Structure 1
Amino acid sequence: MMTERTNGGRRRRDELAAFLRSRRERIAPEDVGLPPAPRRRTPGLRREEVAQLAGVGVTWYTWLEQGRPINVSTQVLDAVSRTLRLDTVEREHLYRLSEVAAPPEPDVVSALSEDVRAIMDRLGPLPAVVSNARSDALAWNDAYATLAPWVTGAPEGERNSMWQFFTLPPCCNPCSNLDEQVAENVAMFRYRYVRNRDDPEFQRLVERLVEASPRFAELWRNQDVAVPQPCQKDFLYPKAGLIATRTTGFDVSARPGTRLVVYTFVDDGSRANFERLLADPTLARPDHTH
């Protein structure tokens, strides 16, 4: 086991060195305001030039590129990222190779490609939502907004299906099979959590859920984990009827950890009830307020 960890650390350091070297070699001195140097053994910037432009010590940057065990802050990595003109994916890659907590996610909503938005819209009556690993709803089509207005209409910061599942009062929670699905949903949620343990927002969400929901806290303590897979989610709106669906997730390659979740109807009755709801979204409104 120790040998595996040692080998893994060596491979990470080698990859970090190769990555940083390749990024600085693609930048010409004149690209960053430095005078061109005709006699260079290798293309691109030298280590000392990267250090100077990033505002860090030459020795420190050399050790970073060599993968030595040094203290690395997010501020310094951001400075190196800007100097090397890293894009969002490259910046995140640098963080992971440096074994520093991943940087905050960029504005995924604005970064979603027009293709993804077009796909959601063309799905027509099938509800679809783009979610991140935390189950935040980032973008959705009209059908999803009709099926889950308690998610899309929630205040910013609470448009999260897990949060809504566990904090909505029972009288206002339309998830009729929640008791059957809740243990599996939490197990799949833990699967994504473990793979994003460096995300402070994910950690805060879990802490909030544990505090807000005794049921979630109980299931979280069980330590169950399951690979995300299609599952059945049933929604009961008394004025529209039961809408039984199956969810299927598709990874969005433009942003790792982001997925397009599509809801299909289990039977014709569910499809008809949803069409009724789609024609009159007010049927999803509860008959009381809190």
Structure 2
Amino acid sequence: MVSKNKELGLFLKKKRSTLRPEQFGLKFEKKRRVKGLKREEVADLAGVSIDWYVRIEQGQNVNPSTAVLLSLSRVLQLNNEEKRYLFNLSDKKLPIEDVTSASISNTLQKFLDNQNPSIAYITDSKLTIIGWNETALKVYGNYKEMSEKERNSVWRAFNDDYLKELLDNWEGHTKLRVEQLRANYNYYENDNTINEIIDELNEKHSLFNKWWNNQGIMGTPEGQKLLHHPVVGDLYLSYISFKSTEIEGAHITIQMPIDDYTKNKLEQLTLE
């Protein structure tokens, strides 16, 4: 049976072989013998000595700290499951703030970008938009310039006139968002930011209060929708949503053009 230390070394070696030096701005050599990153490159990027890193890959008992494991996770671009595996092999516990962090990895962002000219975005458990592609910005508004509160789908549905004009079925959209937020309450019940938003909406909007207390059935993860864009006109879309395995409680949504008519309009928007 392979020891944890040996398994840890093999795991790190395997992960560095999947990376390319160009990803880190390192010079690529045509005669490069090593597949992926070199040991010294990983050590330098992670901020540890090459001797220490060699020992850990050799399966020696070096007892890496939590900070070092997080640094290696970042350099080796580990997903959440791989991070847990790395920490388990090191007999350490992955910090809870790292498990629940809602950062968009390079791979996930590339996935969103590759969906253009379809609309692609990610909502966290609080229904706040945390990731998007260019088409999403052109259709739904510039998330880059919005505050966290303004990027919250529920708050925005009740308070943003642009979104109200854009949505063909504002009531259906907004009711669904409220029900989704209510269903996710266990994820954020101690989060002051979203609870302040909920209190504000309860106080100012009777429909929110009604839908929040209604144990309704949420919509399906697939369907169709119509948007009325102020520049290119009507957009006919089909959509699909699925859970992210990387970010706890988050969902990825792709809204695709139903026909070439809509596809051409979305392409036009992304070129502007």
Provide TM-score, normalisation by structure 1. 0.54
Compare relative contact order (CA 8 Å, sep 6+) and give the higher one, 1 or 2.
2
User: 2:236 is matched with which residue: 237, 244, 250?
Assistant: 244
User: 2:122 is matched with which residue: 130, 133, 157?
Assistant: 130
The one-letter code sitting in structure 1 at the alignment partner of 2:201 is: L
- Equivalents in 1 of 2:193, 2:150: separation in Å? 12
Corresponding residue number in structure 2 for 1:235: 227
More off after superposition, 217-226 vs 252-261: 217-226
SS at match of 1:173: helix
Please tell me whether residue 272 in structure 1 is matched to residue 249 in structure 2: no
Sequence identity of aligned pairs in percent?
A: 19
| CA deviation after TM superposition for structure 1 residue 236, in Å | 0.8
Structure 2 vs 1, CA of residues 228 and 267 (structure 1 numbering), >3 Å: closer, same or farther? same
User: 1:148 is matched with which residue: 114, 133, 140?
Assistant: 140
Q: Deviations over 1:183-218 (max 9, x none)?
A: 333223322225543444443332222234332223
Contact 1:165 1:175 in 2 (8 A): no
How many residues are matched? 186
User: 1:185 is matched with which residue: 177, 183, 193?
Assistant: 177
Gaps of 5+ in 2: 1-90
- Equivalents in 2 of 1:163, 1:186: separation in Å? 9
Structure 2 vs 1, CA of residues 197 and 229 (structure 1 numbering), >3 Å: closer, same or farther? farther
- Equivalents in 1 of 2:115, 2:230: separation in Å? 26
| CA deviation after TM superposition for structure 1 residue 170, in Å | 6.8
| CA deviation after TM superposition for structure 1 residue 242, in Å | 0.9
Corresponding residue number in structure 2 for 1:258: 250
The one-letter code sitting in structure 2 at the alignment partner of 1:121 is: D
Provide TM-score, normalisation by structure 2. 0.57
Q: Superposition RMSD on alpha carbons, in Å? A: 3.3
- Equivalents in 2 of 1:157, 1:149: separation in Å? 14
- Equivalents in 1 of 2:233, 2:219: separation in Å? 31
Please tell me whether residue 87 in structure 1 is matched to residue 89 in structure 2: no
SS at match of 2:166: coil
Q: Deviations over 1:147-195 (max 9, x none)?
A: 1115443234321222211111379631122123333332233222255
| CA deviation after TM superposition for structure 1 residue 142, in Å | 0.9
The one-letter code sitting in structure 2 at the alignment partner of 1:217 is: N
SS at match of 1:135: coil
Corresponding residue number in structure 2 for 1:118: 110
The one-letter code sitting in structure 2 at the alignment partner of 1:197 is: E
- Equivalents in 2 of 1:171, 1:86: separation in Å? 43
SS at match of 2:146: coil
Contact 2:100 2:248 in 1 (8 A): no
The one-letter code sitting in structure 1 at the alignment partner of 2:203 is: E
